[in-house]
Structure 1
């Protein structure tokens, strides 16, 4: 988990890259919708102050409630710039069959676009990447087209 290094855990080389200190405060990390989390990652998450929103949290509380909670927390911390790392496998594998990691019980394309749009509309998003597309497997461009649709939504 490269994020762990940026938060000051694991490899000292990455922790002290560019300057000697952590790069991201763990309590400023909001991990939304993770489903296929291995035991080591789960243990790590449980022993940090990361803000974890599992799929059941999103389903029970609703996307709007979770988004509002996150934006209120960021506002209370006077954070004015955020980065989004969006994994396409956040979306259910029946919609995006050609990702690096196929996982069932994810979110719909529309739910994903809604979540990202709300975050972008907050004015806080300054940088974003979209990952987990495997173009070698995406012979019919299904997943690529969804990725482009998501990019179009946030721009």
Structure 2
């Protein structure tokens, strides 16, 4: 009997420089502590690599008000992209444990580098749309921009900011890591648990007819029905990436994230949604992001997220 676990490799991305609050970089070690607390051998069983970034100094300023710390975020995205490319070329299934969600741009770029001629679908489980650009953002936080990065959607029709030349240079660099073509087509994105987005993002969702499901949709229509629809929508895609931002879960259950948003999923819904998605053999990469233990009293939420990680990985192994 083959050891399916050897086809899995974990990438730990210790970065929280793209969010408004620090602490998401601590989420990975918090998951490892949860694993130890229950006697799990999860992190001993699977090989792992790490992407570690320099922490910001206290009160460190940025020269990029509309794309904060983009010079540093670019390095993270580039590093993640080349790691993911290597994993896929080695026929490995990457499980990415990320700090802030900006690094998901690197994951998607890396998948495009590894599969340059194939359609790649994205199932984005998140309270937020993350498709702002420096031209449309009101905060300047790049964890709200990964989908704009990989789709190359500046959305200048909804612009509220005028960028400096240096900001433009870095923005073009981070978008163009994979060349002239966008890494992800906007029509190949499906949102799950989406509920907190701005007009500029809504304009893009409507323009490109991006499919979105709210937590209410998932509750009333049922997870299996939603997942069946997702894979029908992405049937033309050869590879599918699932990105699970824990703020998709309602803060009643999970306060331990930097950008909580009410009316989200329950833990059980998040678990079952990811379990159903990972069964599909087109899924080639799965990611968890935005766990912030600074806001998680007694590690209750982190422990539950580790159980999701463990159960989804078991389902992944079972499908091989």
**Above 0.5 in TM-score?**
yes
Q: Does 1:28 align with 2:172?
A: no
How far is the alpha carbon of 1:5 from its aligned partner? 2.1
Q: 1:6 aligns with which of 144, 150, 173?
A: 150
TM-score, with length taken from structure 1? 0.88
SS at structure 2 position matched to 1:97:
coil
Runs of 4+, deviation exceeding 4 Å: none
How far is the alpha carbon of 1:154 from its aligned partner? 1.1
How far is the alpha carbon of 1:124 from its aligned partner? 2.1
TM-score, with length taken from structure 2? 0.45
SS at structure 2 position matched to 1:86:
strand
Q: Distance in 2 between matches of 1:59 and 1:24?
A: 28
- Which structure carries more relative contact order (alpha carbon 8 Å, separation 6+)? 2
Gaps of 5+ in 2: 1-144, 155-170, 314-320
Q: Distance in 2 between matches of 1:46 and 1:59?
A: 23
SS at structure 1 position matched to 2:294:
coil
Q: 2:261 aligns with which of 103, 110, 113?
A: 103
Q: How many residues are treated as equivalent by the alignment?
A: 153
Q: What are the equivalent positions in structure 2 for 1:61-140 lying under 5 Å apart?
A: 61-75=221-235, 77=236, 79-140=237-298
Q: Distance in 1 between matches of 2:250 and 2:300?
A: 13
How far is the alpha carbon of 1:45 from its aligned partner? 1.8
Per-residue deviation, residues 84-118 of structure 1 (Å, max 9, x unmatched): 11011111111111111122211111111111001
Q: Distance in 1 between matches of 2:232 and 2:201?
A: 27
SS at structure 1 position matched to 2:293:
coil
Residue in 2 that maps onto 1:51: 211
How far is the alpha carbon of 1:62 from its aligned partner? 2.2
Alpha-carbon contact 1:99-1:143 (below 8 Å) kept: no
Per-residue deviation, residues 62-81 of structure 1 (Å, max 9, x unmatched): 22211101112223x1x232
Gaps of 5+ in 1: none
